[in-house]
Amino acid sequence: MIRCHETQEEPDSFLEHHQTSSPKALHRCITTLVGQTSSYISSLTLAGKRLYTGSNDGVVRLWNASTLETLAEASSSGGDVITGERGGGGAVKSLVILADKLFTAHQDQKIRVWKINYVVEEEEVGDKKYMHLATMPTISDRFAKCLMPKNQVEIRRHKKASWVHHVDAVSGLALSRDGTILYSVSWDRTLKIWRTTDFKCLESITNAHDDAINAVELSENGDIYTGSSDNRIKVWRKSVNEENDKKNKNKKHSLVATFSEHNSGINALALSCYNERSLLHSGGSDGSILVWERDEEGGDINVVGVLRGHRESVLCLAVISDILCSGSADKKVRLWKCSATDFSCLALLEGHRGPVKCLAGAIRDSGTQSETSYYIYSGGLDSQIKVWQVLVPTL
């Protein structure tokens, strides 16, 4: 049975102050969610009032983000727990929601697609809330590509596979703004582009990096950012070709920039927008977070700030409005001001007993105009999901 542990706090320390140069942020751990097994939490995503959590046993669970109750019990026979084929799939590395579809990226080199039955979910009746739609690459995609030798690429010495396959863990997923395209990155150093209507692989960029790719993010203008263990961030853009447009051919993506300012591998990326200025945040294995901004002419992207505070690798980043959240192998979560001029640490959230692997969050109504209430969800290698409330004074 999945348990919800309430934290025991002294009344005077119910909300803790964190001293910074910015206005003080008050925070508390509301509760700790603990699953049935000891599997660690590897991914989180928030969709309205629904919180999806993925773990290293290949299971995705659904929680009510408001009541913190499980809408999916830990029983595969009931159909409420979303699992890989035959309960496998390995760690769930990434989760994205598109309307009534849930895409899950797995350690076993596959992407799985699930249909969400929102009507059943709301009524909480006995029927299955989820239906497995497809595993990517699909059987038809694999079969079509394996027939032609030109579609085979060398993945190891004396071993080949079709280019639609990931051959190592799928580490990240991202959706295009219109939801028609899904991007996936992998430890196999490839970036793949998929169509979300029929789950077909449209394009694969082989050797996109020199080492494992750990993160992918999409900007408002459609640029794709990838972060890798090779210490680099790369920017990819869909090529514009009028002749191809007329023939309705697929546009190809090309490399437009490479950033090498990190001194260690990059584990996480996040994009934010502050006063119509777009900022890129990148978390490194040395514990630093770099803040990037495009210059006023819309050309080069430069480092405008470095956030230091974590003592070990930054493993995850999440942006909630004007707040940047970072989780680290040092077992801590830090909240930072998301601004092109103010990089203050607003709060330090302590309580995890293992590295913090994933983050999600949203703004909740605080009932006052003088402060903004944020709910932060953090998942870690301690197999726990902690729910935090952070109150930030409104400037």
**CATH number, position 206:** 2.130.10.10
178 and 280 in one domain? no
Q: Is residue 20 situated within a structural domain?
A: yes
243 and 114 in one domain? yes
Contacts of 360-365 with CB under 8 Å at 24 or more apart are 360/44, 360/45, 360/46, 360/51, 360/318, 361/46, 361/318, 361/320, 361/323, 361/325, 362/46, 362/65, 362/320, 363/320, 363/321, 364/389
pLDDT confidence of residue 121: 53
* Predicted confidence band of residue 312 (pLDDT cuts 50, 70, 90): very high
How much is the pTM?
A: 0.86
How much of the chain exceeds pLDDT 70, in percent?
A: 75
* Predicted confidence band of residue 339 (pLDDT cuts 50, 70, 90): confident
Residue 60 or 189, more confident: 189
pLDDT confidence of residue 5: 44
| Structural domain of 118 | 68-264
Q: Residue 377 pLDDT more than 70?
A: yes
Name which of 120-134, 282-296, 339-353 the model is least confident about: 120-134
Q: Residue 125 pLDDT more than 90?
A: no
302 and 223 in one domain? no
Average pLDDT, rounded, for the chain:
82
pLDDT confidence of residue 10: 33
Q: How far apart are CA 78 and CA 101, in angstroms?
A: 20
User: For residue 261, what are its two tokens?
Assistant: 């300012």
Q: How far apart are CA 125 and CA 368, in angstroms?
A: 37
Residue 16 or 102, more confident: 102
Mean pLDDT, residues 155-164 taken together: 62
Amino acid at 252: K
Q: Residue 141 pLDDT more than 90?
A: no
* Predicted confidence band of residue 20 (pLDDT cuts 50, 70, 90): very low
Q: Residue 73 pLDDT more than 50?
A: no
Q: Is residue 142 situated within a structural domain?
A: yes
257 and 172 in one domain? yes
Q: Is residue 52 situated within a structural domain?
A: no
Mean pLDDT, residues 372-389 taken together: 95
Q: How many domains does the chain have?
A: 2
222 and 334 in one domain? no
Domain boundary among 238, 264, 290: 264
196 and 300 in one domain? no
Q: Residue 131 pLDDT more than 70?
A: yes
Residue 74 or 267, more confident: 267
Burial of 36 (0-12, 13-18, 19+ CB in 10 A): middle
220 and 146 in one domain? yes
Mean pLDDT, residues 328-348 taken together: 91
Q: Is residue 54 situated within a structural domain?
A: no
287 and 168 in one domain? no
CA-closest candidate to residue 268, choices 111, 103, 44? 44
Q: Is residue 310 situated within a structural domain?
A: yes
pLDDT confidence of residue 150: 52
* Predicted confidence band of residue 25 (pLDDT cuts 50, 70, 90): confident
Helix, strand, coil distribution of the chain in percent, nearest 5: 10, 50, 40
Domain boundary among 210, 237, 264: 264
256 and 305 in one domain? no
Q: How far apart are CA 258 and CA 141, in angstroms?
A: 32
Q: Residue 173 pLDDT more than 90?
A: yes
Mean pLDDT, residues 105-126 taken together: 76
Q: Is residue 368 situated within a structural domain?
A: yes
Q: Residue 46 pLDDT more than 50?
A: yes
pLDDT confidence of residue 144: 55
Name which of 11-20, 68-77, 153-162 the model is least confident about: 11-20
Q: Is residue 49 situated within a structural domain?
A: no
* Predicted confidence band of residue 158 (pLDDT cuts 50, 70, 90): very low
Domain boundary among 215, 236, 264: 264
Rg (CA), the chain: 21
132 and 253 in one domain? yes
* Predicted confidence band of residue 298 (pLDDT cuts 50, 70, 90): low
Q: Residue 35: phi, psi to the nearest 5?
A: -80, 180
| Other C-beta atoms lying within 10 Å of the C-beta of residue 326 | 26
Q: Residue 87 pLDDT more than 90?
A: no
pLDDT confidence of residue 77: 31
SS3 state of residue 387: strand
* Predicted confidence band of residue 364 (pLDDT cuts 50, 70, 90): confident
* Predicted confidence band of residue 81 (pLDDT cuts 50, 70, 90): low
Name which of 261-265, 293-297, 372-376 the model is least confident about: 293-297
348 and 253 in one domain? no
Name which of 159-168, 171-180, 220-229 the model is least confident about: 159-168
Among 63-77, 156-170, 180-194, top mean pLDDT goes to 180-194
Q: Is residue 57 situated within a structural domain?
A: no
The answer for residues whose C-beta is within 8 angstroms of residue 69's C-beta and 6 or more apart is: 4, 63
219 and 79 in one domain? yes
**Going by DSSP bridges, is the β-strand pair 301-307/92-98 parallel, antiparallel, or unpaired?**
unpaired
pLDDT confidence of residue 177: 94
